[in-house]
Chain A
Amino acid sequence: MTLYRRAAWAAGILVVLCVASLLADYVIAAQRAPQDDKRIKSLQEQVKSDASLAPNLAAEQKRITGAHLARKFRDRWLAWSLIAASAAFLASAKRLAPRGAGFQPARVASLPRSSPAPRSTPTLAPGLDLSFVDTAVALHGSGIESAIPLLQAIQTHYRYLPDEALRRLCELTEITPAQVAGTSSFYGQFRRSPVGKHLVRVCHGTACHVSGARQITEELRRYLAIPDAADTDPSRTFTIDEVACLGCCSLAPVLMVDGHTAGRLTPAAAREALKPFDQEPA
């Protein structure tokens, strides 16, 4: 990368130099032209009265023509080097631009390495009690084979996998952060972001899909004002999860709020199904 950076800088400087010298050349020539014209004119006048001055006029004209041709030659080379330098600048600058800049695979957050400053996410409880991780490790063992039971236990306890808990887990066991990140993002059962107070599972199985599960989900997301990239509403009351099957196709489209099932939904009925949970005192 540094090679391209250096090449881009060199070519860029060359571009600027070429433009500057072309400009300077133009300005100097434009300033000289009236003087030269005047001199030629006065010489012509003199030659009319005194023919012996003719060689002077010829020499002057030759000088001006020579200067003009030299400038033309110089400018042609400068123009070509400007074009070449611009091409080199663009080619190397394009190399510098990161491929697919800003692109991150959706929902796969990287596990922070052992950086001292934890990310200050507002969703994180500041005084997260990590002692459960120690208990869980004591119960399931600290080998790599216990990774999934441990993650499941942590998820059951905290309802998601908090970064702090995972970091603690890596300290206590042989499991590496990479393995934790890989496992927790591979299985659908693990979630890395905090879950709302109530989990709404909208069935997207075949029967529900055909009867409009998509519209139900969209309506709920709109109703709860859930942003596009998130699955939990801003007040952290409901988390919407799209699941493969709830096992009651006869009720399609169907959703479950925690343990309660609501079936044969319309978008309006889906909103109604959430109401009782919304009104619960926090």
Chain B
Amino acid sequence: MTLALVVVLLAQAIPYQRPVETAPQEKTIGGGYKTPPVQKPLPRDYWLQMADVALLGAATGLSVWLAIKRRSRKGLAWLSIGSLAYFGFYREGCICPIGSIQNVTVALTNPAYSIPIVVTAVFFIPLVVALFFGRAFCGGVCPIGAIQDLVVLKPIQTPRRLDRILGLLKYVYLGLAIFFALKPGMARDFLICRFDPFVGFFRRTGAPHMFMLGGAFLITGMFVGRPYCRYLCPYGALLGWCTRLARRGVTVTPDKELDCGLCARACPYGAIEKMRAVRKDCLYCARCYGSCPVYRRRSVSGAGSLDVQGSDS
């Protein structure tokens, strides 16, 4: 995804000569024909790109606030709908920290390859937030996460051991993505972007096998919560490492909540262990708060409007 952005930006930076020897020229066409000046899509305005970055930061901040201060499942559900609409369907998945891993890797190792500040910012903002508050980006901001979060219908609790084993896949994927991104020249391949199962939905176009893969992920996701995020997302691996230092994050406390265990049952991602949220695995969906009787009581009046609050527990 970011690849496309970078390619556009690079195309802007490098003076690129179209090989026009075989194409009909103005002279050969004759009749005073003028070649139209613009032949390539213009890149997005720089200030708009910066606005996207700001929006990403703001959405991540909002996610933190909604989860930690407001403890509102409803708020986070609406935020993820908004993010899916903007970062997903409108921006077509093209401000994407997951893919930026590869650009950053190449930029770090190859002096000839430079990445714009936008990509750098997109790569670092969620990681820095994760250092302090956990994976706020995953819930409510990441469009790939949002599309999976919204399809969660009847999640089963996957066995913890299976979770652990499948969770190792993301490190393998991260390693492979870095390995292929580091290959020189034409052999370089951006695996994460090429095998992004959801970007086809965002762009409403793509290879049929990727659509099938994405559809399979979404149908699985109705019953196994966010399979891509939990088992494959290479950026999730990085975020997981960062959360080890996080002081705050989604917490289930006996002070503010009850120790009744309903939250553990409501968590589709197996991120509540012994009635406490596991920061490394918590994807900031706030379903634990949505299912909590303490907050239920508070929101009885507004319970009828949009039933996203813990209804899929």
Contacts and interface: CB of A to CB of B under 8 A. Distances in A.
B154 interface: yes
Interface string A27-65: 000000000000000000000000000000000000000
A87 B291 CA distance: 22
Interface stretch (A95-103, A143-151, A209-217, A267-275): A95-103
B204 A100 contact: no
A94 B262 contact: no
Interface residues of A, number: 20
Contacts of A94: 153, 307-308, 311-312
Interface string A86-108: 11001101110101111100000
Interface size grouping (class) on chain B: 10 to 19
A95 B204 contact: no
A90 B153 contact: yes
Nearest to A95: B307
Nearest to B266: A100
B311 A26 contact: no
A99 B287 CA distance: 12
B307 to A, nearest CB: 5
A103 B264 CA distance: 12
Nearest to B204: A79
Interface string A58-88: 0000000000000000011001100100110
Interface of A: 19, 26, 75-76, 79-80, 83, 86-87, 90-91, 93-95, 97, 99-103
Interface string B188-219: 00000000000001001000100000010000
B311 A97 contact: yes
Nearest to A79: B204
Given A94-B308, A100-B313, A26 B154 contact: no
B153 A100 contact: no
13 contacts: A26-B208, A76-B204, A83-B89, A83-B201, A86-B151, A94-B307, A94-B308, A97-B154, A99-B313, A100-B262, A100-B291, A100-B313, A101-B313
Nearest to A30: B208
Interface in B53-107: 89
Interface in B286-313: 291, 307-308, 310-313
Contacts of A76: 204
Contact of B153 (A75, A80, A87, A97): A97
Given A26-B208, A90-B151, A90-B153, A99 B311 contact: yes
Nearest to A98: B311
A91 B309 CA distance: 12
B146 interface: no
Contacts of B204: 75-76, 79-80
**Secondary structure type dominating chain A contacts:** helix
A19 B216 CA distance: 13
B122 interface: no
A103 B208 CA distance: 42
B262 to A, nearest CB: 6
A76 B203 CA distance: 10
Interface string B34-60: 000000000000000000000000000
Given A76-B204, A90-B150, A90-B151, A97 B262 contact: no
Contact of B312 (A26, A79, A86, A97): A97
A100 B310 contact: yes
Contacts of B150: 87, 90
A76 B201 CA distance: 11
Contacts of B201: 83
A39 B219 CA distance: 41
Given A26-B208, A76-B204, A95 B262 contact: no
Interface string B139-159: 000000000001101100000
Contacts of A97: 153-154, 311-313
Given A26-B208, A76-B204, A99 B151 contact: no
A103 B311 contact: no
Contacts of A99: 310-311, 313
B73 to A, nearest CB: 12
A91 B215 CA distance: 18
Contacts of B265: 102-103
Contacts of A26: 208
B311 A95 contact: yes
Interface in B243-290: 262, 265
A108 to B, nearest CB: 14
Nearest to A102: B265
Contacts of B215: 19
A93 B265 CA distance: 19
Contacts of A103: 262, 265
Contacts of B208: 26
B290 to A, nearest CB: 10
Given A83-B201, A100-B310, 4 more contacts: A19-B215, A83-B89, A90-B153, A97-B153
